[in-house]
C-alpha cells in the first residue's frame, strides 16, 4: 500500500501558556519542564535491542522522545533474583506479564502473577525472585527515566 503513513493527531488542546517549538516539543508547562507533549513516535519491539543485566535480559521499550519516564521489558529466568536495594526513582512500577514472581517491598513479601502491578516509591527497599516454573516477564515503568549507569 504505497503512500500509507502514520499521522500525529493532538486531540486535546495544550494548556494555557504551552507552545510548540520547531522540534515538536511543547514547553511552558506550569512545572517548567519542556517535554510533556511531543508528536506521536513509534518504537518497534524489534528495534529495542536486548541486553544482559546480571541474570536478566532487558529491552528499553520507550521511544526516544519520551523523556519524563521509561518502559522496559525484563525477562526474569527461573531462579533469578533481584537483590534487595533502595529505589532511587520517584515512581517505579512493575507489571507482571508472565510468571509467578515473589516481591519484597518495604519488608512485605508477596507473590505477584500476570496482570498484577506493584508500585514502589522513592526510598522504599525492594527486590524480587522468580521461584516459579517458567521464565518471568515484567514491564518496568520508571519516572524519571533511566540514567547511566542504570540499575534495573
What are the pLDDT digits (tens) for 45-94?
999 999 999 999 999 999 988 878 899 999 999 999 999 999 988 889 99
Residue 87 located in a structural domain: yes
29 and 101 assigned to the same domain: no
Residues 111 and 129 in one domain: yes
Same-domain status, 74 and 17: no
Asked if pLDDT for residue 23 goes beyond 70, the answer is: no
Residues 6 and 77 in one domain: no
| Same domain assignment for residues 34 and 49 | no
Residue 29 has pLDDT above 50, yes or no: no
Identify whether residues 55 and 123 lie together within a single domain.
yes
Considering the domain architecture, whether residues 11 and 83 belong to the same structural domain is answered as no
pLDDT at position 41: 87
- pLDDT band at residue 16 using 50, 70 and 90 as cut-offs: low
Domain count, the chain: 2
Average pLDDT over residues 20-32: 51
Say if 148 falls within a structural domain. no
Query: Please, which residues have CB within 8 angstroms of residue 87's CB and are 6 or more apart in sequence?
Result: 120, 121, 122, 123, 124, 125, 126
Residue 128 and residue 104 in contact, taking contact as beta carbons nearer than 8 Å: yes
Verify that 35 and 49 share a domain, yes or no. Answer: no
- Residue 97 belongs to what domain range? 45-143
Domain contains 150: no
| Between residues 71 and 38, the one the model is more confident about | 71
Residue 132 and residue 72 share a domain: yes
| Among the listed residues 91, 137, 92, the one whose alpha carbon sits nearest the alpha carbon of residue 113 | 137
**Among 26-35, 66-75, 139-148, whose mean pLDDT is lowest?**
26-35
User: Could you report the per-residue pLDDT of 94-114, keeping only the tens digit for each?
Assistant: 999 999 999 999 999 999 999
If one counts every other C-beta atom within 10 angstroms of the C-beta of residue 91, the result is: 14
**Separation of alpha carbons 138 and 73, rounded Å:** 6
pLDDT over 70, % of the chain: 70
For 83-108, the DSSP string reads EEEE--SSEEEEEEEES-EEEEETTE
Q: Are residues 117 and 137 in the same domain?
A: yes
Q: Are 116 and 95 in contact (CB under 8 A)?
A: yes
Is the same domain home to 54 and 104?
yes
Amino acid at each position: 500500500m504505497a503512500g500509507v503513513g502514520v499521522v500525529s493527531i493532538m486531540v486535546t488542546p495544550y494548556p494555557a501558556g504551552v507552545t510548540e517549538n520547531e522540534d515538536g516539543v511543547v514547553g511552558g508547562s506550569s512545572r517548567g519542564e519542556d517535554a510533556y507533549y511531543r508528536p506521536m513516535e513509534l518504537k518497534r519491539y524489534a528495534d529495542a535491542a536486548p541486553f544482559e543485566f546480571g541474570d536478566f535480559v532487558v529491552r528499553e521499550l520507550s521511544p526516544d522522545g519520551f523523556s519524563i519516564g521509561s518502559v522496559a521489558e525484563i525477562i526474569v529466568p527461573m531462579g533469578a533474583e533481584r537483590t534487595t536495594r533502595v529505589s532511587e526513582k520517584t515512581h517505579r512500577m512493575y507489571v507482571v506479564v508472565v510468571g509467578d514472581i515473589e516481591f519484597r517491598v518495604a519488608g512485605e513479601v508477596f507473590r505477584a502473577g500476570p496482570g498484577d502491578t506493584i508500585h514502589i516509591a522513592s526510598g522504599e527497599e525492594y527486590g524480587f525472585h522468580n521461584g516459579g516454573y517458567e521464565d518471568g516477564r515484567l514491564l518496568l515503568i520508571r519516572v524519571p527515566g533511566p540514567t547511566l549507569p542504570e540499575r534495573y
